């Protein structure tokens, strides 16, 4: 079917959502707009689906959600014979509708569904999959993308986002399905009455919070620390559970950013609700100037990531990067568990390959095994699963990625901003009792190990030609590997697509044991590095820079040189 045939088919059959009907009518004579919506279909991968909300095969809508869910249902039935699936959603536009549509498809296929009665954080969905012993899970979210987006994350029976093999199997099923004719669905109310769709009881969320509380390193330390916190859920799902857990550990002085307190998929005060960027935290920072707290917490819309800002030496508020927060939390957990004589034998910390190498220094100091995995928290979840299989689950202490995702404990298999918010406050209270701020803590680690500056840059390649351009750039780099970047020699190249690591200093080559991924890591002299990775969910190439200097100014200078040289390598002005 060509693009215009597909468009006409949708005009005739996509009649259940008035928004889609209006959109299809409004682009009737606009070939470019029709092309953008129908030139391809959203591809189901390990991150599920993600796209702009709207009409067409290249958009998020009830028909694309139904088709994907029918593919997931076929996968579950083929693999397990029968089963159950847990579903939740965040505050995104149409997120509750997409959850209900997915539930109707699963119920029509004879698969039991557990759904939440209101929006919940992504880690809660991971917990529900494990709690109910489901065969799969669905979280309707687009994480930190702008308001125009929605998405559909799929989880396996272990509570991790689907592996490559499982996602490919689901995608194969989706490709067999006609989006209008081959999808089973049923009446929602009837499915609830029959028990095929069941709402999750509140007691389950209480059990989740109990598991979070078990991850305390120094229970009770916040009760007399007089810690003051400003918190913003960025109009997402963190509001209830983060506030509950802070109250439980004794953080009573919590000031909420009122404009961002309640769920709102329009994100009017932070058009890009990503705690990695200052603009998303601006309202929180303004409240900090008024309230003068010890720190600011900001959870993203699906509350799987948390950003923080801390009071600096001059009384202003300093944004802490995901790497810095992860380093401090790793150090805090290792230090205190050693102090309390509860550090397990052969402890394990896990990080992604694009995350700061400063953690390597900490793990060396505490005799802790460090495991590097590909970008994506599911790979950290796989490490936990493998430890669990060997009855060594207790060895896992902490896992994190530079993009503000953290997990302590094994009760879920995805990053969790609820537990991370708790641990950040506990850590702040621990050091406050010693007369130290978190700004002093991270600077102390830099003084001890060297200033590791890690920065991430994204370059967008939008439209139908964007993905092709990104592919060409990656191919060109592979075929023409640079000998240096900004004058720093390339000493080692790790190509995770070809699974080869070339060591130029020792003139050797080994096969990488991690799964295949379109990532090229250029390891440079003096511990610097440039990693290049196309996003799996957005038309962007991400550039991860590691610059190691004597101090911040020196590291900044090195970083600027590396970025300029890397942009030349990518052909970006």
Cα–Cα distance measured from residue 539 to residue 149, given in angstroms and rounded to the nearest whole number: 13
The active-site residue out of 6, 41, 91, 143 is 143
Q: Burial level of 390, CB count in 10 A (0-12/13-18/19+)? A: exposed
Cβ within 8 Å of residue 464, ≥6 positions away = 35, 36, 39, 40
Query: How many Å from the N-terminal Cα to the C-terminal Cα in the chain?
Result: 39
Beta pairing partners, 215: none
Fill in the DSSP letter of residue 395.
G
- For residues 15 and 25, give the distance between their C-alpha atoms in angstroms, rounded to a whole number: 12
- Clarify whether 316 is annotated catalytic: no
Distance CA 343, CA 332 (A): 12
The H or E element spanning position 86 is strand 84-89
For 481, residues 6+ apart whose C-beta sits below 8 A from its C-beta are 490, 493
Nearest residue to 115 (alpha-carbon basis) of 133, 96, 130, 91: 96
Give the C-alpha separation, 359 to 500, whole Å. Answer: 24
Strand order in the sheet with 306-311: 253-256, 228-232, 295-299, 306-311, 317-320
Strand duo 84-89 + 112-115: pairing: parallel
φ, ψ for residue 60 (rounded to 5)?
Answer: -90, 120
Task: Indicate which residues carry an active-site annotation.
Answer: 143
């Amino acid at each position: 079917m060509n693009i215009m045939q597909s468009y006409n088919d949708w005009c005739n059959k996509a009649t259940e959502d008035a928004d889609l009907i209006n959109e299809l009518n409004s682009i009737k004579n606009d070939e470019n707009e029709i092309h953008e919506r129908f030139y391809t279909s959203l591809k189901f991968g390990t991150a599920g689906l993600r796209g702009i909300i709207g009409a067409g095969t290249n958009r998020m809508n009830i028909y694309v959600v139904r088709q994907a869910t029918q593919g997931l249902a076929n996968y579950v039935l083929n693999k397990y014979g029968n089963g159950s699936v847990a579903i939740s959603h965040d505050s995104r536009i149409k997120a509750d509708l997409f959850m209900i549509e997915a539930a109707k498809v699963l119920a029509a296929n004879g698969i039991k569904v557990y759904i939440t009665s209101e929006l919940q954080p992504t880690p809660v969905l991971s917990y529900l999959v494990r709690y109910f012993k489901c065969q799969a899970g669905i979280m309707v979210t687009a994480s930190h993308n702008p308001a125009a987006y929605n998405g559909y994350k799929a989880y396996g029976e272990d509570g991790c986002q689907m592996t490559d093999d499982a996602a490919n199997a689901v995608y194969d099923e989706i490709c067999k399905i006609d989006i209008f004719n081959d999808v089973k669905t049923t009446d929602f109310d009837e499915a609830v009455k029959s028990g095929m769709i069941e709402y999750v009881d509140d007691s389950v969320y209480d059990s989740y919070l109990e598991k979070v509380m078990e991850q305390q390193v120094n229970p009770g330390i916040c009760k007399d620390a007089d810690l003051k916190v400003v918190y913003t859920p960025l109009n997402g799902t963190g509001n209830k559970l983060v506030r509950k857990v802070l109250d439980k550990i004794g953080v009573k002085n919590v000031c909420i950013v009122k404009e961002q307190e309640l769920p709102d998929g329009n994100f009017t005060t932070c058009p890009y609700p990503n705690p990695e960027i200052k603009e998303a935290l601006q309202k929180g920072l303004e409240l900090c100037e008024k309230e003068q707290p010890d720190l600011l917490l900001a959870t993203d819309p699906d509350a799987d990531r948390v950003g923080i800002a801390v009071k600096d030496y001059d009384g202003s508020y300093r944004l802490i990067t995901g790497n810095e927060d992860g380093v401090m939390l790793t150090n805090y957990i290792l230090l205190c568990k050693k102090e309390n004589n509860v550090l397990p034998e052969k402890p394990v910390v896990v990080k992604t390959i694009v995350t700061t190498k400063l953690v390597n220094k900490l793990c060396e100091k505490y005799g802790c095994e460090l495991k590097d995995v590909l970008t994506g928290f599911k790979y950290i979840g796989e490490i936990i699963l493998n430890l669990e299989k060997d009855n060594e689950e207790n060895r896992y202490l902490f896992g994190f990625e530079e993009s503000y995702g953290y997990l302590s404990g094994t009760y879920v298999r995805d990053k969790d901003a609820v537990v991370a918010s708790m641990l950040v406050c506990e850590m702040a209270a621990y050091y406050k009792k010693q007369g130290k701020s978190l700004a002093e803590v991270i600077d102390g680690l830099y003084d001890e190990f060297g200033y590791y500056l890690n920065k991430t840059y994204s370059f967008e390649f939008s439209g139908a030609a964007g993905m092709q351009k990104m592919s060409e750039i990656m191919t060109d780099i592979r075929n023409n590997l640079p000998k240096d970047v900004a004058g720093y020699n390339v000493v080692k190249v790790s190509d995770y697509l070809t699974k080869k690591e070339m060591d130029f200093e020792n003139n050797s080559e080994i096969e990488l044991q991690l799964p295949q991924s379109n990532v090229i890591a250029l390891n440079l002299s003096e511990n610097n590095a440039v990693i290049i990775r196309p996003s799996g969910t957005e038309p962007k190439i991400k550039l991860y820079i590691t610059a190691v200097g004597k101090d911040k100014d020196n590291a900044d200078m090195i970083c600027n040189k590396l970025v300029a040289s890397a942009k030349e390598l990518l052909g970006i002005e």
